[in-house]
């Protein structure tokens, strides 16, 4: 029996482990499938991480090291090159590596911190041939930043999420010509600062309401056809344009990696593709917690660390038999608010609610209802799907709450 097993040794897994340790848990094991701790931060060599947490701009590897160093100092055990293949509702974990073979661990509590993976070309139905030179942006990032290979010289990027923007700059710095970044939506999903410093600094055009409709080339990408899309996202035929390129990078969304969560029978939210959780980040299976990008995709690693600490602290309470679950208030959303995390509140404590909106809205008022009664409201000059929102509900607001609904009013 291991008290706490953490699946994933990225920023979420390490933060969760440290928080659990600080709350008295000593019997911890982190399982990590890569050969190093740090997760995706290892390949995010650009700066901008840690402003909230540390008040300074760190690169990904530097941010990860702050946590890894502490994990090592405290002697928290971890197994690298170890793949978890299955977890059960009884919290039995089956994993494998080349030293231990296939082995099982019975855990008292589990924290899911497996992160997310990129949507691939197959999910997009782009017509055309299947040549070499089509990469997800993250794969290209790994090739350039960790392996030292350039995936191509003339590049078109589909998707203007932060990874796509960061890779536009990275490829440019390494001598490639980035011809365009196409974005299906009429707005970018990335941070404004990244459009400024990754595209504008390098004179890379951002084509909003544009998509790639065809890939050309037999052995290697020879070009792509792009087109403007109408308000329904449908390509407009007479706007089609051929762009010569040898590489297409896809930055078209991230999917939490919840295969083992699903097989354990954990309830998964169809919008976040992550588990339904309470404010303690406990999933539908008692004693199984989730945090980081496996729960919902975050904009900033600082928020991942914060969420993972919540999961770690509460896993420690669960192990000690002190986790509070005395009430059950579900949180619903209206159409303008796509989802919240958590989706239920089970203790009358000050609770931070994280949520994402469905569209870009200006002069929006966020309202929290208990039945028909407004118990909280706050105004924002602008909200966008790419920016996670957060409100704090004080414990006294939850006194008489039965069912909460979060809505957005736009004037």
Partner 1 sequence: MATRELICIICPKGCNLKAELDEDGKVLEVTGNTCKRGAEYAENECTNPMRTVTSTMRCSDGTVIPVKTTTPIPKGKIYECMNLINKGVVNLPVHIGDIVIADVFGSNIAVTENRT
Query: Please, which residue, 202 or 376, has the CB nearer to partner 1?
Result: 202
* Least distance in angstroms from the C-beta of 131 to partner 1: 27
* Least distance in angstroms from the C-beta of 166 to partner 1: 10
What is the number of alpha carbons within 13 Å of residue 16 lying toward its C-beta?
A: 38
Give the Cα separation of 222 and 211 in Å (integer). 17
Asked if 45 touches partner 1 (CB under 8 A), the answer is yes
Element (H, E) at 84: strand 83-87
Torsion of CA 107, 293, 380, 166, to 10 degrees: 150
Asked if 34 touches partner 1 (CB under 8 A), the answer is no
Per-residue contact flags (x/-) with partner 1 for residues 289 to 318, judged by CB under 8 A: ----------xx------------------
Collapsing DSSP to helix, strand or coil, 232 comes out as coil
Q: 66 vs 11, 50, 110, 307, 348, CA distance in Å?
A: 10, 10, 23, 17, 33
Per-residue contact flags (x/-) with partner 1 for residues 119 to 158, judged by CB under 8 A: -------------------------xxxxx----------
Asked if 385 touches partner 1 (CB under 8 A), the answer is no
* Least distance in angstroms from the C-beta of 59 to partner 1: 4
Asked if 47 touches partner 1 (CB under 8 A), the answer is yes
Per-residue contact flags (x/-) with partner 1 for residues 192 to 211, judged by CB under 8 A: xx-xxx---x----------
Asked if 376 touches partner 1 (CB under 8 A), the answer is no
Element (H, E) at 141: helix 137-142
In terms of phi and psi (left: phi > 0; alpha: psi -120 to 50; beta: otherwise), the region of 118 is beta
Backbone angles phi, psi at 75, to 5 degrees: 70, 30
Asked if 160 touches partner 1 (CB under 8 A), the answer is no
Give the Cα separation of 323 and 314 in Å (integer). 7
* Least distance in angstroms from the C-beta of 75 to partner 1: 18
Q: Tokens at residue 107, please?
A: 């855990």
Asked if 59 touches partner 1 (CB under 8 A), the answer is yes
Residues that bind partner 1 (CB under 8 A): 42, 45-48, 51, 57-62, 65, 144-148, 173-174, 191-193, 195-197, 201, 299-300
């Amino acid at each position: 029996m291991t008290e706490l097993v953490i699946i994933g040794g990225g920023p979420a897994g390490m933060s969760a482990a440290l928080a659990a340790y600080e709350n008295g848990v000593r019997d911890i094991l982190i399982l990590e499938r890569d050969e190093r701790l740090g997760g995706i931060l290892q390949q995010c060599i650009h700066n901008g991480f840690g402003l909230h947490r540390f008040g300074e701009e760190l690169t990904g590897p530097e941010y990860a090291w702050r946590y890894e160093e502490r994990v090592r100092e405290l002697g928290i055990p971890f197994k690298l090159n170890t793949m978890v293949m299955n977890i059960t509702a009884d919290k039995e974990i089956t994993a494998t590596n080349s030293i231990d073979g296939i082995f099982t661990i019975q855990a008292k509590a589990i924290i899911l911190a497996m992160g997310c993976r990129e949507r691939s070309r197959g999910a997009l139905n782009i017509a055309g041939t299947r040549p070499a030179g089509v990469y997800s942006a993250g794969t290209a990032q790994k090739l350039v930043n960790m392996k030292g290979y350039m995936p191509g010289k003339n590049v078109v990027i589909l998707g203007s999420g932060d990874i796509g923007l960061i890779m536009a700059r990275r490829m440019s710095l390494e001598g490639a010509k980035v011809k365009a970044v196409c974005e299906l939506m009429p707005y970018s999903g990335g941070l404004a600062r990244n459009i400024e410093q990754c595209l504008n600094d390098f004179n890379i055009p951002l084509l909003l309401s544009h998509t790639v409709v065809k890939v050309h080339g037999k052995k290697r990408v020879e070009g792509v056809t792009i087109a403007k899309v109408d308000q329904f996202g449908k390509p407009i035929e007479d706007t089609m344009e051929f762009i010569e390129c040898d590489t297409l990078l896809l930055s078209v969304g991230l999917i939490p990696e919840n295969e083992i969560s699903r097989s354990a029978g954990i309830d998964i939210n169809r919008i976040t593709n992550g588990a339904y959780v309470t404010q303690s980040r406990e999933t539908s299976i008692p004693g199984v917690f989730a945090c980081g990008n496996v729960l919902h995709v975050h904009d900033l690693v600082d928020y991942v660390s914060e969420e993972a600490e919540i999961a770690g602290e509460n896993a420690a309470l669960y192990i000690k038999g002190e986790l509070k679950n005395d009430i059950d208030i579900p949180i619903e959303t209206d159409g303008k608010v796509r989802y919240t995390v958590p989706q239920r509140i089970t203790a009358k404590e000050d609770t931070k609610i994280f949520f994402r909106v469905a569209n870009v809205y200006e002069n929006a008022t966020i309202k929290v209802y208990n039945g028909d009664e407004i118990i909280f409201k706050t105004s924002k000059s602008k909200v966008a799907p790419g920016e996670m929102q957060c409100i704090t509900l004080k414990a006294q607001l939850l006194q008489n709450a039965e069912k909460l609904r979060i809505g957005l009013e736009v004037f």
